[in-house]
Amino acid sequence: MGGEPLLLRCRLLLPCAGCSPLRDTIVYAEDGRILYIGDRPPSGAKSGIVIDCPRYGVALPCFYNAHTHVAMTLLRGFHDDSELHEWLARMWFVEKRLTPETIYHASRLAVIEMISTGTCGFIDMYFEPEATAKAAREHGVRARLGPVIMGDVDPYRAVEEARRFARSLEGDPLLGGVINVHSVYAAPLEAVAEGYRAAEELGVPFHIHVSETRREVYEARKRHGKFPVELLESLGALGPRSVLVHAGWIASWELDAVRRARATLVHCPTSNMKLATAGHFPLYEAMEKGINVALGTDGPASNNSLDMLREAKTGLLLQRHSYWDTRVKARHLLEAATRGGARAMGLDRGGAIEPGAPADITVLDLSRPWSLPLRPDNLASAILYAATGSDTIYTIVAGNPVYTPENRARLWSLAEQSAQELNRFLEDIGPGRDPTPPCSPRNACKPG
């Protein structure tokens, strides 16, 4: 991976979501991976970057946002108080007018927000992924990227374009491809089947919205005689590469199919509540069955935040509200936000601070009044119930500190510059609505 060795010293460290805290701990990393954890510097440690946590600094595994549309920062606060289908018509009007430059600025704003709030990586589904890749590279963050396949496209040309883009990222230490098929209702079913085959061939995630709304479930049953997950299974698109997003209307027997397929489910609680899609994400049952569960913010237009700590707390509270009990614990959501997201991204051993794991670490400053009194026995509680991403003081990706107290002002200035560009773009195009979705990727769209 390259870069300087890293030595991190913290009074408190949470090695994983379900682990006991460690006191007065040193973490040493070389070449992007953790080599040593202990109470004193390892013998033979090379000189490099040294970070001393403040008194109430807490190190924990980085967060991985398993589903988002980062360039939708452009549309944050744009049309917030409509239900899903009216909201989509407003979004589609703008999205048909996007340019790569606009997507770059929107992505840069999003990436800076994510590293400022403790996120090391994300799975993205949006247009012009080259522009998002540029922003991700500039700021040293992990990403899984690819063009979204949707609308009136030639399915085979669309999947071939997704293959081409994924191959272009092979060998990149931080970026990788993903096959993004919007859904079984907004993309040709041939693209679903061919897309999963491509994901298997390339060894990348197959990323798709599934069972987000009751209407989607009813229409799948009416048109195809199957519920959405059943339909994926019949198409050969349910397997260990599948990253199934939302699943708020998934049936119990479909959950068993997900388990058998070793697929991932992604919970996006804030977006589901904001867009009034209702349903229930069966987080506890999924985890009890051994299904990998990850957490996603969805896009900044339907959240409106990319703060994974805020999302984890919202997810925990929604789960308890839905179950009418406290079976879902803080560790479940921290697991989804860390190790679950790393698995969805295909990141080997990600989501824990241990020898051999990627050196992806977040340091929170829990000295603020809202996190005190702080003790080792209440550390997980303080992180999930009291802290927010804004308490982040360091975000370390592959051993490289990408967000620090020293570079914060510069990063936030760049974010403000990009925000100004986005406002100019929206002013130029004006308001509107379009009931038909954009076609993507563009060079696979059918004529007319």
Band of pLDDT at residue 448, cut at 50, 70 and 90: low
pLDDT score for 2: 56
Nearest residue to 131 (alpha-carbon basis) of 93, 175, 167: 175
Q: Is 35 helix (H, G, I), strand (E, B) or coil?
A: strand
| Residues 6 or more apart in contact with residue 269 via CB below 8 angstroms | 281, 311, 314, 315, 318, 319
The mean of the pLDDT values for the chain is: 96
Answer whether CATH 3.20.20.140 is correct for domain 63-345.
Answer: yes
The model's pLDDT over 170-222, given as tens digits with 9 standing for 90+, comes to: 999 999 999 999 999 999 999 999 999 999 999 999 999 999 999 999 999 99
CA–CA gap between residue 334 and residue 340 (Å, rounded): 9
pLDDT at residue 263 greater than cutoff 90: yes
pLDDT score for 79: 84
pLDDT score for 254: 98
What residue ranges of the chain are covered by domains with CATH 3.20.20.140? Answer: 63-345
Q: Taking residues 301-318, what's their average pLDDT?
A: 97
DSSP class per residue in 288-335: HTT-EEEE----TTSS----HHHHHHHHHHHHHHHHTS--S-HHHHHH
Superfamily per CATH, domain 6-61+351-408: Urease, subunit C, domain 1 (2.30.40.10)
Q: What percent of the chain has pLDDT over 90?
A: 94
Q: How many CA atoms lie within 13 A of 392 on its CB side?
A: 31
Give the sign of the dihedral formed by CA 120, CA 122, CA 128, CA 133. Answer: positive
pLDDT score for 84: 77
What residue ranges of the chain are covered by domains with CATH 2.30.40.10? Answer: 6-61+351-408
CA–CA gap between residue 24 and residue 423 (Å, rounded): 46
How far are the Cα atoms of 197, 233, 299 from residue 240, in angstroms, in the given order?
A: 12, 12, 24
The model's pLDDT over 41-81, given as tens digits with 9 standing for 90+, comes to: 888 888 899 999 999 999 999 999 999 999 999 999 988 88
Which residues partner with 207 through β-bridges? 180, 243
Give the sign of the dihedral formed by CA 246, CA 250, CA 253, CA 254. Answer: negative
Taking a C-beta distance cutoff of 8 angstroms, is the pair 142, 345 a contact? yes
Q: What percent of the chain has pLDDT over 70?
A: 99
Which residues partner with 209 through β-bridges? 245
pLDDT score for 47: 85
pLDDT score for 46: 87
Strand segments (E) across 6-84: 6-13, 22-30, 33-38, 49-52, 57-61, 63-68
- Pull the structure tokens for residue 221: 């049953």
